[in-house]
Amino acid sequence: MKMSEHHQARKRFGQNFLNDKGVIADIVAAIAPKAGDLMVEIGPGLAAMTQPLLDVVQPLHVVEIDRDLIARLRQRFAPERLCIHEGDALDFDFVQLAQTQARRDLRVVGNLPYNISTPLLFHLSLAADHVRDMHFMLQKEVVERMVAVPGTSEYGRLSVMLQYRYAMELLFIVPPTAFTPPPKIDSAIVRMLPLPATERQAANEILFAEIVTAAFGQRRKMLRNTLREWVTEEALQQLGIAPTARAEELAVADFVRLANALYTVRTPLA
């Protein structure tokens, strides 16, 4: 009998348990774990990926919120092999884990809960300078938004904010049949490689984020409307940005140029 038959998936935790051995092998091959890696798995669940990762990486850190699953993990794996951090991944301090281990090459993996995937990605961005790479399974449509290019309907705030910090690649699609219970949508595996700090050119990243959020707040409107509290039409033209353009037409570098111009004068351009 499968382990998933002994545990009722909980909707509030967004649980869908991966059980396709071929898919699991493909994911682990994409991660390519090495002995000595500092690796943390988000949401180990029934240990479908945990076990093959532990065959290579020891100790493996995991973050799990479900107390029943935590009890199972503790019964199955010795603490010197599996270091369990009980709690919500949205509250977990990934930077502290890296600093505690005196490392700046944390590797993060996991089947992210669909119900918190976007806020979790933003939370993980805070630790980007301490991370070597991240490999996640997410809803296919979320991954498509993450890697989308300007001028497409999928391109939005998530695309810009993540592409500012990471080089990302959609690796492959995972069908619903690979899970118990099967979700109603396809999933996808994404690889995220943090960009060097020298490539992140925003003078003030908080201001950059505010500009991106404002621009996409009403994505069907022109920038002269969505950003009118920030910048004049004349100033947009001076920056080589058409006031009649919409947010989805601007590349990440365009948003950086705009934010830096605003930061330089410290007041809305006139």
User: Which residue would you say has higher pLDDT here, 119 or 13?
Assistant: 119
Please determine, for residue 89, whether its predicted confidence score (pLDDT) is greater than 60: yes
Q: What's residue 200's pLDDT? A: 87
Task: Tell me: do 138 and 244 sit in the same domain.
Answer: no
Q: What is the pLDDT of residues 153-195, one digit of tens each?
A: 999 999 999 999 999 999 999 999 998 888 889 999 999 999 9
Residues 132 and 245 in one domain: no
Number of H helices, E strands in the chain: 11, 9
Q: What angle do CA 251, 252, 258 make, to 5 degrees?
A: 95
Q: Does 166 lie in the same domain as 134?
A: yes
- Residue range 99-147, pLDDT digits in tens: 988 888 999 999 988 888 999 999 999 999 999 999 999 999 999 999 9
**Domain hosting residue 164, numbered range:** 3-197
Sign of the four-CA dihedral 222, 224, 227, 228: negative
Contact 231, 260 (CB under 8 A): no
> Among 215, 217, 223, 262, which residue's Cα sits nearest to residue 241?
223
Task: Domain count for the chain, please give it.
Answer: 2
CATH number at residue 229: 1.10.8.100
- The pTM score is 0.90
Return the residue matching tokens 């700046």. Answer: 104
For residue 29, being part of any structural domain is answered with yes
DSSP designation for 52:
H
CA–chain centroid gap for 258, Å, is: 25
Question: Residues 245, 178: one domain?
Answer: no
The continuous run of DSSP H or E covering 97 comes out as helix 94-100
DSSP state of 195: P
Q: Cα torsion at 115, 121, 126, 127 (round to 10°)? A: 110
Residues 250 and 133 placed together within one structural domain of the fold: no
